[in-house]
Amino acid sequence: MRNHPDPAAVGTLLRHVLELLDHDVAKVYEEQGLSEYRPRFSPVVRALLAEGPLSVRDLAGAIGVTHSAASQTAAQMARAGLVTHTPDPQDARRRLIELTARAHALLPQIQAEWDATVAAMAELDAELSMPLADLLTEVAQAVRRRPFRQRIAAAYRR
């Protein structure tokens, strides 16, 4: 009996690696007393710090996720008291996501964890044949050039 994903099941393997990394980052937040903070919140925090209040669509673009994923993350962050949703003064149909005072107060801890995570990733990358982010970027570009479903369909026809 194996205790790890089948290397041929790439989707399962990717999820497994993400779970391993995210679990440990979440553990660090928990140890710092930030049990409600999730690793997926950090890109949102960084984008809102850099850009100011953003609509869900603009936030999704800024962090490179789908509209749905950005909306779900913002909702989780709102429940944790880290962001608010306010009407856009330019367009009342849109809502803007903005960091709360609580989020700003947590920034030193969040930044310290982020810096430590970047350093830990650099250490991990040194053990790999190529940096993980470079490989994942390369995969994303290849799949954008020729979607995976097209590759599956071509293989199926052979």
Residue 92 phi/psi, 5° resolution? -65, -15
**What is the pLDDT, as a whole number, of residue 110?**
92
**What is the pLDDT, as a whole number, of residue 91?**
86
Tell me the average confidence (pLDDT) per consecutive run of 10 residues in the chain, 158 residues long.
70 91 93 91 96 95 95 96 92 92 95 94 96 94 95 90
Q: Identify the CA nearest to 107 among candidates 61, 60, 48, 62.
A: 48
Q: Identify the CA nearest to 47 among candidates 83, 92, 94, 91.
A: 83
**What is the pLDDT, as a whole number, of residue 158?**
79
**What is the pLDDT, as a whole number, of residue 2?**
56
**What is the pLDDT, as a whole number, of residue 11?**
87
C-alpha span between 52 and 47 (Å, rounded): 8
The predicted model scores a pTM of 0.82
Secondary structure, 3-state, 68-118: HHHHHHHHHHHHCCCEEEEEECCEEEEEEEEECHHHHHHHHHHHHHHHHHH
